[in-house]
Structure 1
Amino acid sequence: MFNLDNVMYLSAFISIVFLITGFIMYRFPPKKINYLYGYRTNSSMKSQERWNFSQKYSSVQMMFTAIKLFIVSLILPWFNSSFKTNILFQIVIVFIALGFMFYKIEKAIKINFPNE
């Protein structure tokens, strides 16, 4: 049953989902450009070569992000903050991690494919 105390570990749950998703995408990347499965952005879908690179790179970045989020989730209980502050902090951390992950992936695509 859902318990509000479990929400305190939101970033840990999300990190586990990221780790599993990143591992699945690494082991079974989509072979062809599609609109259903994979790292799908305008820059990653411009060519098959970009697509292949972005699938492998994004899956590795997702796993690294998962590890970082999990470490943060282990540190958070050490702070004696209120329930609302803790939840808000976790949500902000997850969005920052997602934004940084997307930034790194898009930057890597631009560096590896400068003329496309």
Structure 2
Amino acid sequence: MISLDYILEMPALVGVIFIIIGIIMLIFPPKKINMLYGYRTNRSMQNQKKWDFSQKYSAKLLALIGVALTCISTLNIFLNLEEVAEMVVSAILIISSILFLIVKTENKLKKL
């Protein structure tokens, strides 16, 4: 069974994972449009220019979101929220971070 303490630390763990993946994607971006690796949406896969842009842009944004999630999760020390509230806040932070990444990247791709 997963410990409740582990679940409450999810934003920090997800933040670190986002940072690592963002750095890896910046260093080793997928060169060609593919269905396995990288930022893959219909818009990003329309042509090579959009593909290259979306890989670099989303990788940087992912790393920045990771830093923000990690920093925000440290505020938990000062907030003293109840466990259920912490779980809800954690879920909202993670889901909104992912949605922010997608919306921001897709809006930039629309302009290309």
Task: Please confirm whether the aligned pair reaches a TM-score higher than 0.5, indicating the same fold.
Answer: yes
TM range (shorter): over 0.9
What residue in structure 1 maps to residue 29 of structure 2? 29
Instruction: Determine the C-alpha separation between the residues in 1 that align with 2:99 and 2:69.
Output: 13
- Which residue pairs with 1:45 in the alignment? 45
Q: TM-score, normalised by structure 1?
A: 0.91
Q: Mean Cα displacement is larger for which, 29-38 or 68-77?
A: 68-77
Distance 2:58 2:65 in 1: 10
Q: Distance in 1 between matches of 2:23 and 2:39?
A: 13
Offset, 1:82 = 1.1
TM-score (norm 2): 0.94
Runs of 4+ in 1 over 3 A off after TM superposition: none
Q: Corresponding residue for 1:73?
A: 73
Q: Indicate the RMSD between aligned Cα atoms, in angstroms.
A: 1.3
Please give the residue correspondences for 1:1-116 in structure 2 after superposition, counting only pairs within 5 Å.
2-111=2-111, 113=112
Report how far residue 48 of structure 1 moved.
Answer: 0.6
Q: How many pairs are equivalent?
A: 112
Q: Output the CA distance in 2 between the equivalents of 1:50 and 1:34.
A: 13
Q: Shift in Å at residue 2 of structure 1?
A: 4.9
CA distance in 2 between partners of 1:18 and 1:43 (Å): 22
In percent, how many aligned pairs have the same letter? 36
